[in-house]
Structure formats: structure tokens, C-alpha cells
Structure 1
């Protein structure tokens, strides 16, 4: 996995636009899907960030538009965040001060276990394992700061 990248302030780190690529595997059936798009973390009035993910999700050969909105609000400890759904319901806390965070989110009869890993200043990953009576999923999402995509690799810059 390589080294972890400690993040002293998760909101400052996430701010901006990220290329987003997610693989989705149904571990029970073997079906696989993917999401490709962007996630924009924009400032909220009063502090925090509004995360807007948009792109295309392909599942069983069918591609559809997909989007998700979350709120990242300042957490109780410096540099942390409380992640909420768009309607304000709590989702999970987020502390990347070590570069790594694991969190559980119960949802009805399902359990979502998320693992967040910061690889460096411009790359991070989430892995969600979803288990329950009707779900057995693995969702792996890689984020790359969008500015890197438009400028090319660092060795190509003047």
C-alpha cells in the first residue's frame, strides 16, 4: 500500500476538484460495475465543505448518470470533519491526521465499513465493505486531485 500521508486539516486537504474512479463488486453474484466522474468540495457558508460527486455509473452493461451530495462539517477535534448526508443526517466522522481512518455506519439491516487512506498530497482512496441480509458489496474509490490531470505528470512540467 505504500506510506500513509498524515493530513493535519481534512477540510483544507479535500477542498477543490478531484477525478473520481470507483469499482463496485457484488461479492455474492460476482457482478461488477464502475463509476467515473468528478467530486467537487466547495466551501459552505459558516465553514465546512459541500461535496458534489457526478459522473456515469455502469452496471451490468448499462451506463446511467449518477450523483451524490454530502456535507463535510468541522469536527469536534481540530482538523477533523463530521460527514453528513445532503439532508443533514449524520453519516460518519473523519479523522485523517494519521493518513488513515476506519469507520462503521449502520444503515437499517446493513453495515457499511469504510476505510480511508491518504496516499500523498494529491491521491486518496476509500474502500467501503457493505454487508447485510441483501448486500455483499465492495466499493473502492480512488481520488486524484484534478489539477494534476490538466498539467500532466510532474516530470513533464517546465
Structure 2
């Protein structure tokens, strides 16, 4: 695997089920953790909102729901872990507008060159993510988190388990 693999349409490329392996390293304490699980990029739900849910004001329709679940082990303790993100159609064709589950903005994503750098300020910390597509069935994210509250490196490898598109 050498170089980057250009992706003309992020949402079409990501659709499906991916095996996930993530390492987490605290650069201050030296502690290391590991997440292993799956991520499914699927169509968002279409059922009506349940009582108490807020409607998504001003968010574009369509996109993919990113649902990740697995086991996170930190300092020898394994716990179930999950997260949900929304990958919505981006401003330019083939790109994505990545949002947290509640609709708050996270970052943009454009893999047309096979590589993308995204920044996300979170309070006084800065998350800087590098996304690289290695081939049709493998991609990686490296998040470097720095600031007064955190000093972490998170490396996530994704391997396609199936092809829904």
C-alpha cells in the first residue's frame, strides 16, 4: 500500500460495515488504550422523532449515520463503547459535512485526493485529524489532540467488512 487512494464521493465510499481498531495514547502520562469494534455507515433513520427529541433545524437531508460500537480497554479495564456521528452531504459534490449525533458541527471531509486534514476546536483544546485512504477497502484517521486539558494521539484503522454500494 503506497500513497493515497482518491475518493470521488465520500458518502458512497464509506457506506457499509467496517472493522475498527483504534489505539489511544496519552502523551503526558504514557497510558495507552485500545478500541476494537465495528462502524456501520448506513442510511439515517426515517421514522418520526420520538417525544422529547429536537428536530434537526437547518440540516441537509440524506447522508449516512455513522454508528460505532465495540470494546474500549484503558489501563487494563475493558468497557463497552459506542458513538454516533452524522455524515451529511458537503458543500461541494462528493464531500461530507460531519456532525455529532445532536447535529453540532464536527468537521468537513473531502477525500478527493485520498488525504484530508481537519481541525475541530473543543473548548481550549484543538483536535487535528488526518484522514488517509489507502485503497478501496482500507483507510486511517490520526487525531492529535492538544491543549490544556488533553495531550493525546488516536490512530484508527478501518477495514471494509462488506460492500453495500
Q: Same fold (TM over 0.5)?
A: yes
Partner SS, residue 86 of structure 2: strand
TM-score (norm 2): 0.87
Report the counterpart of residue 55 of structure 2 in structure 1: none
Report the counterpart of residue 154 of structure 1 in structure 2: none
Partner SS, residue 147 of structure 1: coil
**Residue 113 in structure 1 maps to residue 135 in structure 2:** no
Q: Deviations over 1:60-106 (max 9, x none)?
A: 00000000000000001000000000000000000000000001100
Report the counterpart of residue 26 of structure 1 in structure 2: 26
Report the counterpart of residue 15 of structure 1 in structure 2: 15
For structure 1, the residue ranges without an aligned partner over 5 or more in a row are 149-158
Report the counterpart of residue 56 of structure 1 in structure 2: 71
Q: Which has the higher helix share?
A: 1
For structure 2, the residue ranges without an aligned partner over 5 or more in a row are 47-60
Structure 1 vs Structure 2 CA RMSD: 1.2
Distance, in Å, in 1 between the alignment partners of 2:149 and 2:158 is 28
User: Per-residue deviation at 1:147?
Assistant: 2.9
Distance, in Å, in 2 between the alignment partners of 1:59 and 1:42 is 29
TM-score (norm 1): 0.91
Distance, in Å, in 2 between the alignment partners of 1:43 and 1:7 is 19
**Residue 135 in structure 1 maps to residue 145 in structure 2:** no
